[in-house]
């Protein structure tokens, strides 16, 4: 079975159960500063999980593109990917545990023809915040899963969410597939899963974790399920790793053609990071490599792909050519890749050229430092080699120019017969230095990533409406080329990214502020209407270009009716009910964030 066949089967099955198909959201979350990327299918649906009405109904199904970089160092093994596709179906206050579990079981055993003997499930064991999920276990038992294959595990294993620090969450039940050749082992603890591979997760969202750390009941009970496309396809084809699926095999074959050395881990890293980078560059939000936020992660992925390409013996530029395979294979499902292909190739080419130069210059500096180190240790045997000093040199080279540890060790091996024991010691010491540096960075990051529209606070909702008004005002002052390519809301301010060659002049800033503040003073109602997408676009609504919208969309408008509205945008909400609920705004900062892109910050006075 191919990934495409699995996706088609899944969508068709849940359509037969009354689910509406919705398109994949952007990889870049809108108005959620708690995370850099969309990490799960439920993330774009947070407003609807919190009670907003979805224009497509209460039963939804989709294939969502996702990014998770927390385990980036693990990529190269059999199971970890940074970019992946997630199958998901949702109930927004509609069906509950019995229907969700029954349909999961039906899809696995009838549509995918997986024998019951190959399956096991886990349920939430209960704790001080939520009771033991006996109801879920009873449903599984009624469907034919033996009691001996139903396990109760802790919150660590059977509790999902929230994404970030706050938001919807709840107990879950996971479905495992036995990949071993012997009799299946017990699944009694989180550390006893060898041979078992998780293939489906059904989350029963009945709580919202608040900013105070408490769990409050949600207005409506929701079901959120997720199944990894690559992992499930590999299992169905009897493969032992996620890289053995059709699209990734095509990229792998091309990498092998330009490689002169064999290294399975480096090969997989190149394949994974190249695909992930192509999807970030090709996203609706037009993210380019930079030193902050998503742009930083993108740059890191590209550079890791390049350096592991070097370890495969690749000497010529290779990223652009490989990206074309990704675009060709995925653009039927994600047309934004084809639309943004020039953007993808431009920045992959620029980054490869720039970082290759960095590597060449870094190697010169590496050889220079190694010579100095060896001169100091000239009369010392390998056992007396100054490991800590070597680690410090490697760390400094990485910090100053991005020169990788692996390449420093290769240089050291070339200049000195470096044994594995010494090499491992250097790696450990570099690891300690990096961990120390990262703990400092994380401390700053934790202070930064808090709040967000997903907590639905009054202030954040006000800023959300103000963002719509700012978008409208910028278009009036600067022209119709203005469109949202990124936004971010905290409790202190809003941030809005848009295409423009230069910063606003002082007079333009004042004009933008006046337009918004006049609307606030006029106390105009804010309305919402659900329309067919094409009809909404004909009525001149503002929308995110490149974004895939469902057939039925929500339009929020500021005015007495849609036709005469001051602002009208496709949006999931929520918003204030009248502009009198807003304060006056002021634009307090502007930044240039890339070629032809500007960022403005505004806050309430």
In this predicted model, what pLDDT tens digit does every residue of 359-368 receive, in sequence order? Answer: 888 878 878 8
Distance CA 589, CA 600 (A): 6
With residue 460 as reference, give the H or E element that holds it: helix 458-478
Q: List the beta bridge partners of residue 553.
A: 531
* pLDDT number for residue 443: 42
User: In a 3-state reduction of DSSP, which class is residue 63?
Assistant: strand
Residue 552 · residue 531 · CB < 8 Å: yes
Domain 457-604 in the same topology as domain 3-236: no
Distance CA 198, CA 108 (A): 13
Assess whether pLDDT exceeds 70 at residue 157.
yes
Residue 108 · residue 116 · CB < 8 Å: no
Confidence of residue 566 (pLDDT cuts 50, 70, 90): very high
Q: Read off the pLDDT of each residue in 143-167 and give the average, rounded to a whole number.
A: 88
CA distances in angstroms from 580 to 162, 465, 525, 551, listed in the order given: 33, 11, 8, 32
Q: List the beta bridge partners of residue 601.
A: 495, 589
* pLDDT number for residue 430: 64
Assess whether pLDDT exceeds 90 at residue 76.
no
* pLDDT number for residue 279: 98
Assess whether pLDDT exceeds 70 at residue 168.
yes
Distance CA 520, CA 499 (A): 26
Look at domain 3-236 and name its CATH class.
alpha beta
- Domain ranges, ordered by start, for the chain: 3-236, 245-361, 368-449, 457-604
Whole-number mean pLDDT of the chain? 87
The domain 457-604 having CATH identifier 3.30.980.10: the answer here is: yes
Pairing of strands 20-21, 59-67: parallel
């Amino acid at each position: 079975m191919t990934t495409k066949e699995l996706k088609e089967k899944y969508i068709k099955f849940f359509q037969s159960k009354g689910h509406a198909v919705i398109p994949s959201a952007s990889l870049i979350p809108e108005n959620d500063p708690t995370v850099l990327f969309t990490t799960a299918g439920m993330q774009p649906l947070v407003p609807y999980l919190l009670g907003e009405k979805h224009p497509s109904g209460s039963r939804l199904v989709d294939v969502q593109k996702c990014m998770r970089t927390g385990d980036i160092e693990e990529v190269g093994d059999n199971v970890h990917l940074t970019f992946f596709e997630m199958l998901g179906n949702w109930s927004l206050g509609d069906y509950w545990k019995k229907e969700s579990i029954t349909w999961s079981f039906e899809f696995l055993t009838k549509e995918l023809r997986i024998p019951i003997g190959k399956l096991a499930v886990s349920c939430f064991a209960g704790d001080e915040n939520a009771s033991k999920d006996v109801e879920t276990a009873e449903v599984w038992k009624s469907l034919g899963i033996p009691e001996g294959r139903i396990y109760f595990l802790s919150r660590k294993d059977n509790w999902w969410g929230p994404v970030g620090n706050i938001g919807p969450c709840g107990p879950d039940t996971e479905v495992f597939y036995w990949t071993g050749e012997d009799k299946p082992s017990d699944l009694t603890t989180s550390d006893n899963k060898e041979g078992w591979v998780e293939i489906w997760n059904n989350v029963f969202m009945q709580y919202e974790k608040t900013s105070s750390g408490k769990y409050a009941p949600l207005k409506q009970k929701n079901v959120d399920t997720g199944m990894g496309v690559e992992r499930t396809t590999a299992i169905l084809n009897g493969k032992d790793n996620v890289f053995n699926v059709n699209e990734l095999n095509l990229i792998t074959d091309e990498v092998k053609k330009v490689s002169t050395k064999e290294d399975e881990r480096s090969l997989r890293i190149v394949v994974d990071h190249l695909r992930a980078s192509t999807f970030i560059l090709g996203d609706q939000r037009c993210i380019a490599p930079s030193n902050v936020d998503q742009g930083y992660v993108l740059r890191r992925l590209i550079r890791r792909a390049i350096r592991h390409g070097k370890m495969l013996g690749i000497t010529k530029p290779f990223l652009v050519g490989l990206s074309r395979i990704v675009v060709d294979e995925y653009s039927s499902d994600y047309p934004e890749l084809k639309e943004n292909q020039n953007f993808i190739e431009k920045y992959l080419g620029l980054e490869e050229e720039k970082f290759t130069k960095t590597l060449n210059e870094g190697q010169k500096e590496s050889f220079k430092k190694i010579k100095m180190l060896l001169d100091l240790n000239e009369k010392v045997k390998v056992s007396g080699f100054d490991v800590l000093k070597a680690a410090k040199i490697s760390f400094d080279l990485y910090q100053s120019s991005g020169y990788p540890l692996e390449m420093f060790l290769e240089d050291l091996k070339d200049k000195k017969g470096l044994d594995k024991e010494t090499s491992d010691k250097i790696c450990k010491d570099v690891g300690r230095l990096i961990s120390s540096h990262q703990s400092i960075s994380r401390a700053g990051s934790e202070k930064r990533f808090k709040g967000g529209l997903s907590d639905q606070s009054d202030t954040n909702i006000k800023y959300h409406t103000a963002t719509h008004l700012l978008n409208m005002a910028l278009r009036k002052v600067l022209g119709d080329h203005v469109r949202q390519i990124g936004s971010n809301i905290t409790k202190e301010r809003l941030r809005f990214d848009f295409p423009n060659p230069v910063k606003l002049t002082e007079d333009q800033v004042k004009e933008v502020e006046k337009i918004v503040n006049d609307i606030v003073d006029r106390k105009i109602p804010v309305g919402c209407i659900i329309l067919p997408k094409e009809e909404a676009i004909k009525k001149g609504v503002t929308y995110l270009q490149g974004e895939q919208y469902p057939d039925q969309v929500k339009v929020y408008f500021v005015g007495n009716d849609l036709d005469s509205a001051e602002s009208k945008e496709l949006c999931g909400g929520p918003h204030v009910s009248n502009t009198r609920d807003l304060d006056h705004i002021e634009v307090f900062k502007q930044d240039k964030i890339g070629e032809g892109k500007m960022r403005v910050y505004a806050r309430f006075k």
